């Protein structure tokens, strides 16, 4: 039987990978407008698929998160 990971499970996995250890992430927020988990100094956030952010705004957010000067501050996409 295949197992489907929940969004929170996927965020936990991302936080563990980024933190470099297998601790248990904390759910910092689980609301209709987004889910946030944290582990040590790593935070992972997901918005719902119905978020009305336009493509340009999303591209700007992703570019900022991926900027080399912010490595270690923001988790890149």
Please check whether residue 1 lies inside any domain of the structure.
no
User: What is the signed CA dihedral for 18, 22, 24, 26, rounded to 10 degrees?
Assistant: -10
Please check whether residue 28 lies inside any domain of the structure.
yes
CA distances from 68 to 37, 41, 61, 65 (A): 23, 18, 14, 9
Q: What is the pLDDT of residue 2?
A: 56
pLDDT one-digit tens code per residue, 64-76: 988 999 888 877 7
Please check whether residue 55 lies inside any domain of the structure.
yes
pLDDT one-digit tens code per residue, 19-46: 888 788 899 999 887 889 999 888 888 8
Number of folded domains in the chain?
1
pTM beyond 0.75, yes or no: no
């Amino acid at each position: 039987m295949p197992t489907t990971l929940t969004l929170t499970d996927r965020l936990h996995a991302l936080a563990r990978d980024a933190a470099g250890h297998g601790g248990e992430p904390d759910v910092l927020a689980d609301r209709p407008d987004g889910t946030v988990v944290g582990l040590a100094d790593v935070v992972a956030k997901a918005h719902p698929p119905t978020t009305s952010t336009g493509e340009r705004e999303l591209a700007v957010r992703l570019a900022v998160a991926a900027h080399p000067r912010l490595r270690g501050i923001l988790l890149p996409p």
